Structure 1
Amino acid sequence: MATPSDSKPTYIYKLIPSSAPPPDPLPDRLPVSDLDQTSGFIHLSTSLQVPNTLKFFFKDDPRAYILRIPYDPIEKSIKWEDPKAEACGPRGGEGMFPHLYNEYKLGRDEVESVQTLEKGPDGSWDSALKAAEAWLTY
């Protein structure tokens, strides 16, 4: 059985803070976050990275929006790097994130579906992640 470090993901994910909800319907191009603009690429996560991305970067948000993006159509524009784009490594390896280098083109043509995750009454993402488990597939 293939493990994530040696297999290609089916989907990768873009997390968006509650302060910047994605328009419905999605436009051809979503607005680019300050972080992505500064970095020169769109930060993405695998399903296995989503829980820690939420816990570290969205700890003060009551909700987050997650865009599910089929991997195959954008694979040629993905580089697997550490969060600061300083090192390349194996696909999906520990600490290696998918970064999208395509002139910030992320919108209705790339995104398959959107989920809204709400923090639980305990202030954690655990119940939301459990509820989204079937949707958050590698």
Structure 2
Amino acid sequence: MLIYKIFRAREWDVLDTEGQTTGSPDDLRDGFIHISTAAQLRGTLDKHFSDEKDLVLAVLDTDDLSDALRWEPSRGGALFPHLYRSLSRSEIIEAHQISLGPNGHELPEGIE
């Protein structure tokens, strides 16, 4: 199953340069890396990144993340994927820029 991590440009640059990340300041605060399913992406963007530009969407495969990936209740009781370890650049299948258009964030074709 494919799942998605949203990065701010500076967070992506650190991951791309260093080869791994423990996540955003919110991830560090909460003790895990916040990830979303395709169905959860729009809500995550609206709630946590509403006016932010220069975002990167990383595509991950749940099969590559082992037992460090847990599905836990979050917004409205929905189960969200949370990664309880660092994320390696090599685990990212592909990455896409997320544009902020007049009607909000524009996700890549085929995701949503």
**TM-score range normalised by the length of the shorter chain:** 0.7 to 0.9
1:75, distance to aligned residue in structure 2 (A)? 3.9
Does structure 2 conserve the Cα–Cα contact (< 8 Å) formed by 1:21 and 1:65?
Answer: no
2:12 paired with 1:22: yes
The TM-score with structure 1 as length reference comes to 0.69
Instruction: Kindly report structure 1 stretches of 4+ aligned residues shifted beyond 4 Å.
Output: none
Out of 115, 124, 133, the position equivalent to 2:104 is: 124
Aligned length: 111
2:34 paired with 1:40: no
The TM-score with structure 2 as length reference comes to 0.83
1:63, distance to aligned residue in structure 2 (A)? 3.5
1:107, distance to aligned residue in structure 2 (A)? 2.3
1:65, distance to aligned residue in structure 2 (A)? 0.9
Partner of 1:99: 82
Partners of 2:66 and 2:44 lie apart in 1 by 21
1:83, distance to aligned residue in structure 2 (A)? 3.1
| Structure 2 residues not aligned, in runs of 5+ | none
| Structure 1 residues not aligned, in runs of 5+ | 1-9, 85-93
Partners of 1:15 and 1:24 lie apart in 2 by 14
2:97 paired with 1:108: no
Q: Which has the larger radius of gyration?
A: 1
2:95 paired with 1:133: no
Amino acid at match of 1:110: E
Over the matched positions of the two proteins, sequence identity in percent amounts to 27
1:96, distance to aligned residue in structure 2 (A)? 1.2
Change (3 A) 1:55 1:15: same
Structure having the larger proportion of residues in helix: 2
Does structure 1 conserve the Cα–Cα contact (< 8 Å) formed by 2:20 and 2:89?
Answer: yes
Structure having the larger proportion of residues in strand: 2
TM-align CA RMSD: 2.5
